[in-house]
Structure formats: structure tokens, C-alpha cells
Copies of this chain bind each other. A is one copy, B any other.
């Protein structure tokens, strides 16, 4: 949910003040994300009859398959997707039933579940990723490449700032 009116109000009330400036930037960030996400959800549904969480799981498993190292556990998958293990379990269960995802017990630890894409899952993802990438490029197309670069870098700073603030609060 976003609060465009509150953004305008924060903007008018005190544009120079740090707290107000942070708040209006956050509200605009949230509005951008909501707009893009809603569009992507709609297109995934209309074009591929699928949902964003399903697409995200497949994309994440595909990315993990290119990494060196250990296979992906359910716990690590839920961390990367920033969703709870509980929500993810039902979704992965459906993808397993549809033959798009493999889920196995780890040979090293019976409590650990390993997840990966099946060939059918990879094929399903590969039909979607080029269009998904074009949708995003089209939504971002009014930004020059230098503006996109600046935005990317500022968002990197913001991500670090958020992570720093969270670590401090937790005393780590």
C-alpha cells in the first residue's frame, strides 16, 4: 500500500528537514515498487497464467544453480526471497506436484530439505525471463543510462544504510 497524498503533504510541509525528506523519499520508493510490481503481477498472470511468488521461486532456484557450492536449502531459499519458511513450504509443495521443482532430503542432515529446478521448471522459467526483462526495461525506458546508473548506486547506498541501521538496533 502507498500513500501518495501523504508524500505530497510531507513534501509541502517541510522539504528541508531530514525526517520529512526521508519519509517522502520512502513513500515515493514504495509507490514506484507498487506500480512496477502490480504491472509485473498482471502481465505474469495474463501472459503466463502464473503468479509473482511462483516466478520468484523459479528465478531464485535458477540463479542458485549457477552458483558454485552447496545446493540450495529451503531455509536459504526463504532467506533469499525474504519470505517466511511457512509461506514458502506450501508454494514449493505445489511446484513439486506440478513437476517444476525437486525437493529432496539432504544426505548430510535429514532435517534439511534441498530444492532445485527440474528440466520442466527450467523450461517454464526460460519462456518467461526474456519477456519479464523487456517489461522492466520498458517501464524504466524514460531514464537515461546515466540516471539508471545513479539510481542503482543510490539504492545500493540505501540498502547498506538500512542494513547498518538494523544491525545497530540489534546490537550486532
Contact = CB atoms under 8 A, between A and B. Distances in A.
A149 interface: yes
Given A1-B52, A31-B159, A38-B82, A152 B9 contact: no
A94 interface: no
A28 to B, nearest CB: 4
A161 interface: yes
Chain A interface mostly: helix
Interface string A135-157: 01111111101011111101111
A142 B154 contact: no
Contact of A161 (B3, B141, B152, B160): B141
A114 interface: no
Interface stretch (A61-69, A96-104, A105-113): A61-69
A137 B23 contact: yes
Contacts of A21: 145, 148-149, 152
26 contacts: A1-B56, A2-B81, A3-B80, A3-B81, A5-B67, A5-B80, A6-B59, A18-B145, A22-B139, A23-B133, A23-B137, A25-B140, A25-B152, A25-B155, A28-B152, A29-B155, A33-B33, A35-B166, A36-B162, A139-B161, A142-B157, A142-B161, A142-B165, A143-B157, A150-B154, A151-B151
Given A23-B133, A139-B161, 17 more contacts: A1-B82, A3-B56, A3-B80, A3-B81, A5-B60, A5-B67, A9-B66, A19-B133, A22-B139, A25-B140, A26-B136, A28-B156, A28-B159, A35-B163, A35-B166, A141-B165, A142-B165
